[in-house]
Amino acid sequence: MDDLQTRKDDALEAIAAAANPDALEALRVEALGKQGWVSQLLKTLGKMTPEERTEKAPVIQQARAEIADAIAARKQAIDDAELNERLATETLDLSLPAPETPRGTVHPVSQVMDELAEIFADLGFAVKTGPEVEDDWHNFTALNMPESHPARAMHDTFYFPDHDDDGRRMLLRTHTSPVQIRTMVNEGAPVRIIAPGRVYRSDSDATHTPMFHQVEGLVIDRDIHLGHLKWTLETFLKAFFERDDIVLRLRPSYFPFTEPSVEVDVGFEVVKGRRVLGGSGDAPGHAWMELLGSGMVNRRVIEFAGLEPDEWQGFAFGVGVDRLAMLKYGMDDLRAFFDGDIRWLQHYGFSPFDQPTLSAGVGASA
Ligand code: DAH
C-alpha cells in the first residue's frame, strides 16, 4: 500500500508536468489504460478475501479517481494555454480594402432560368418544381414508358438500391417530365406550367455532363392543338433570343409521352465562328439545328395522371437550359458550367442587380 501511495504521487507529479496532449495521453495509458498499473491493481481485487477487499478497494478506487481528475484538469490547462497562445499570435487585418466591385456573379444557368420564368409568367405560366430523387413510376411508367420500354435504357439512369413504401424503384430523375405528372395529379386541370431544374444521366463528355438542366413546359386545357404549341414556342424563343426573325421547323418525331411528337429545329447562321439564331434554315448560308422536343400530350399520360383524356388535351415540351444558355451567351464547353472556376464566372456570370424583366429586356448585359 505504501508502494501504491508512491506510485500515485509520482503519477500526479508527472501529470502536472505534462507539456502537451501526447505526453498526457502516454501517462493516462501507463496508469489507467487496459494494461496500466491501476487497472492491474483493480483486477487483483477479485482474488482477495472479503476482508482484504473491504480494506484495499477504496484505496485503489481513490487512486484511480485522483489520477483521472488530475489528467482532466491538466488537459483543460493545456487546451487553455494553447488557445491563449493562438489568440495572442493570430490576427485578422480588418483594414484590408474591399474589392472595387462586388465579386459574386449570377451563374448563367440561374440567369437563364430567371429569364424563362419571366417570359413564361407573361404568358400565364406558373413555375413548378419536383424532387430530383424520383421514383420510376413518375419518371417513366406514368410517362408511358413501362418496365420493358427501350426508351428507359436510353436514359442512362442512376438508380438507388432502395424502393419507396409503394415498392417503386428510386432514381435520380433523368428529365423534368415527371413534374408534368406531379402537377396534373396534385392540381388537376387546367394546367399551364414550366418546370426548370436539375436532371441526371450517367454520361460525360464535352457536350454531356452527369448533371444538367432542363425546363419542361406543360399546357392542359380544352381544345388545345398543335397550333398553340407552335405559337407558344415561337413567342418564347423570340422573347428569349430577343430577335423577331427566329424561324422554327417542326419535324415529326417520337417520344413515348407525346402523340404526335415533334422535334423543333431553329434556323441559324455562323457568324465569326459562333452560331447565331435567326432566319430560315433553308436561306443561303443558314442551316437548321435541333433545339427541343415537344408534342401533344399522349392520352395515356393524361389517364395515368388521373384526368379524363376526352375532356382534357394539351401540349408539352422539354429543352436543355444549359444549351439555351450556350446559344444565347456563346460558351462552347458545357463542362465549364460546373467547374466553379471563378474566372469563368466573372466572365460569363451576371450582376445580381441585373434582374431580367420584360420591360428592361430579359437578356441582361453580361
Ligand atoms: N423528356 C425529354 C428528354 O429528356 C424531352 C421532352 C421531349 C420533353 C418531348 C417533353 C416532350 O415534354 O414533349 O429527352
- Per-residue tens of pLDDT for the chain, all 366 residues: 668 899 999 999 999 999 999 999 999 999 999 999 999 999 998 899 999 999 899 999 999 999 999 999 999 999 999 999 999 899 888 887 877 766 789 999 999 999 999 999 999 999 999 999 999 999 999 999 988 887 787 778 999 998 888 889 999 999 999 999 999 999 999 999 999 999 999 988 877 899 999 999 999 999 999 999 999 999 999 999 999 999 999 999 999 999 999 999 999 999 998 899 999 999 999 999 999 999 999 999 999 999 999 999 999 999 999 999 999 999 988 899 999 999 999 999 998 888 888 877 776 554
Residue where a domain stops, chosen among 38, 59, 89: 89
Which protein residue has the closest C-alpha to ligand 1 atom 14? 175
Domain boundary among 26, 59, 89: 89
Residues 56 and 164 reside in one and the same domain: no
| Integer Cα distance of 292 and 288 in angstroms | 12
51 assigned ligand-binding residue: no
Residue 319 Cα to ligand 1 midpoint, Å, equals 7
187 within some domain: yes
In a domain, 360, yes or no: no
Q: What's the CA-to-centroid distance between 256 and ligand 1, angstroms?
A: 9
- Report the nearest-CA residue for atom 8 of ligand 1: 318
Collect all residues with Cβ–Cβ distance below 8 Å to 290 and sequence separation of at least 6.
263, 264, 265
- 141 Cα: distance to centroid of ligand 1 (angstroms): 14
User: Does one domain contain both 39 and 114?
Assistant: no
For residue 237, the tally of other CB atoms under 10 A from its CB is 21
55 shares a domain with 155: no
69 and 206 fall within a common domain: no
Q: Which helix (H) or strand (E) holds 38?
A: helix 37-44
- The residue among 30, 58, 89 that closes a domain is 89
Partners of residue 251 on adjacent β-strands: 263
Residue 273 is assigned to a structural domain of this protein = yes
Instruction: Please report, in angstroms and rounded to a whole number, the separation of the first and last CA atoms in the chain.
Output: 83
Residue 363, domain member (yes or no): no
Indicate if 28 and 117 belong to the same structural domain.
no
In the chain, the amino acid numbered 25 is E
Separation between Cα atoms, residue 333 and residue 106, nearest integer Å: 18
Ligand 1, residues 140, 177, 203: which to mutate, most atoms within 8 A of Cβ? 177
As given in the structure block, the three cell numbers for residue 239 are 422573347
Q: Kindly report the backbone phi and psi dihedral angles of residue 348, in degrees, each rounded to the nearest multiple of 5, phi listed first.
A: -100, -10
pLDDT at position 365 is 55
Please check whether residues 247 and 332 belong to one and the same domain: yes
CATH number at residue 337: 3.30.930.10
Domain check: are 12 and 50 in the same one? yes
The single-letter DSSP state of residue 331 is -
Quick one: pLDDT at residue 366? 44
- Predicted TM-score (pTM) of the model is 0.72
Cis peptide before 58 (omega within 30 of 0): no
Give me the count of residues in the chain: 366
Does residue 80 share a domain with residue 195? no
User: Do 279 and 227 belong together in one domain?
Assistant: yes
Mutation to probe ligand 1, out of 317, 319, 321, 324 (largest number of atoms < 8 A from CB): 317
Residue 358 lies in a domain: no
Q: Which residue range is the domain that position 204 belongs to?
A: 108-348
Does 186 lie in the same domain as 59?
Answer: no
Phi-psi region of 167 (alpha: psi -120 to 50; beta: other; left: phi over 0): left
Give the position, in ligand 1's atom list, of the atom nearest the Cα of 143: 1
- 135 and 202 in a single domain? The answer is yes
Residue whose C-alpha is closest to residue 298's, from 220, 222, 233, 230 = 220
Q: How many domains does the chain have?
A: 2
Beta-carbon count within 10 A of 331 CB: 16
Q: What Cα–Cα distance (Å) separates residue 263 from each residue in 172, 248, 295, 319?
A: 25, 10, 8, 11
* Ligand 1 atom, smallest distance to 218 CA: 12
Give the helix/strand (H/E) hosting 227: helix 226-241
Rounded Cα distance between 172 and 157, Å, is 7
**Do 141 and 245 belong together in one domain?**
yes
Domain presence at residue 167: yes
Element of type H or E holding 211: strand 211-221
**Ligand 1 centroid to 180 CA: how many Å?**
11
DSSP character at residue 128: -
Indicate which residue's Cα is closest to atom 2 of ligand 1.
318
Angle at 298 between CA 247 and CA 171, to 5 degrees: 95
Reading the block at residue 180, the C-alpha cell is: 408534368
> Which of 255, 263, 299 has most ligand 1 atoms within 8 Å of CB, for mutation?
255
- Is residue 361 one of the residues assigned to a domain? no
Q: How far is the CA of 158 from the centre of ligand 1 (A)?
A: 18
Considering just the CA atoms, what is the radius of gyration of the chain in Å? 34
The reply to whether 99 falls in a domain is no
Residues having CB within 6 Å of any atom of ligand 1: 175, 177, 216, 255, 258, 293-295, 316-318
CB 143 within 8 A of CB 178: yes
The helix/strand/coil state of 61 is helix
